[in-house]
Amino acid sequence: MQDRERDARIEDAVRNTRVVRPPQQALATFGETIIRYHLISNPVYSDLNLPGQKDETVVRDGVVRAERPQVVTPYYLSRLEGFSENAGRYLQYLMREYGPSAPGLLYTYKNEPAGMSFVSGRAEEVAARLMDSLDQEKRALEAVIHGVDELWDVSLMKFIFELTNSSARSNFNELRSMGLLESRGGLPEDARRRIEWMLDQARRGELDPSAVHRELERWGVFDEYEDRFLGLFRGR
C-alpha cells in the first residue's frame, strides 16, 4: 500500500470516529487514571450484502492507563531519544519562541485490550444500549467510541487525543496553583519532586539507578545532584 493511500485511509478513519460517550471525569493530575473503553464498529464484511446477512456490530473492550502527567520543558524534550531531525528543529523553535524552560505536560498511556465480540444489531443501537447501561450504573470512567473496524487502533488514538486535550487545561491549572510549574535553575518544581522520588526509590533498591541518571541528564542537572547520585552506590 502506498503512503498516500495509507494516509488517506487514516484520515478517513479519524473523520469517521466519534466518541459517543466520553468519560465523565478528566484525567487525574496527581495519579494514574484507568479508563475502560468499548469501541464499536461495523464489521469489515458489512458492505458485502451477503445472503441472509444480519446486522452485527464488533465490540472491542479494553483499558487505557494514563500515567500522572509529567511537567516537561522544550529543553527536556530535546534530550529525549528517538526524535527525527525535523522534530528536533521544531523543539529548537519552541525554545527560541517560548524559552527552554517553558513548562508543558507530557502524557503517557498504555493500552490493554481485553477482548472482542460480535453483538446483534446496528452500531447505533449497540452504542445506545451500552450508554444506557453505563449511565444507569454510574460508571464515570468508561467510554463508548464509534470507530472504524480495520483501523480501530486509529479510532482509539483519536479518543486518547481528545481525552488529553479536554483534561490538559485543568491539569495545568491545578499544577500551577500548587507552584509546581515554577522553575529554579531551569528545573520545574514538579520535576524536582520527581527526581527526589526517584532518588528515594533507587536508594530503597526499587528503581534502577540508571533511570535516575537518564532523568538527571535529560534535565541537564547531573552536576547539581552528582554527590547524591554517587551516594546510591556507597556501601553496596
- Cα separation, 129 vs 134, in Å, equals 9
pLDDT band at 5 (very low <50, low <70, confident <90, very high): confident
User: Is residue 210 situated within a structural domain?
Assistant: no
Mean pLDDT of 50-68: 85
**Total number of domains in the chain:** 1
User: Is residue 89 situated within a structural domain?
Assistant: no
Residue 80 has what pLDDT? 83
CA-wise closest residue to 23 among 169, 129, 171, 162: 162
Average model confidence (pLDDT) across the chain: 90
User: Is residue 42 situated within a structural domain?
Assistant: yes
Secondary structure element (H or E) that encloses residue 128, with its range: helix 123-136
| CB burial string 159-193: b at 16+ within 10 A, e below | bbeebbeebbeebbeebeeeebbebeeebbbbbbe
Q: What is the pLDDT of residues 149-198, one digit of tens each?
A: 888 999 999 999 999 999 999 999 999 999 999 998 889 999 999 999 99
User: Is residue 142 situated within a structural domain?
Assistant: yes
User: Is residue 45 situated within a structural domain?
Assistant: yes
- Cα separation, 188 vs 66, in Å, equals 21
Q: The domain containing residue 31 runs over which residues?
A: 1-69+107-178
CA-wise closest residue to 116 among 53, 52, 41: 41
- Cα separation, 61 vs 80, in Å, equals 32
Indicate yes or no: pTM above 0.85.
Answer: no
User: Is residue 80 situated within a structural domain?
Assistant: no
Mean pLDDT of 114-130: 92
Assigned C-alpha cell, 5: 493511500
Residues facing residue 65 across a β-bridge:
34, 110
Residue 213 has what pLDDT? 96
User: Is residue 98 situated within a structural domain?
Assistant: no
User: Is residue 94 situated within a structural domain?
Assistant: no
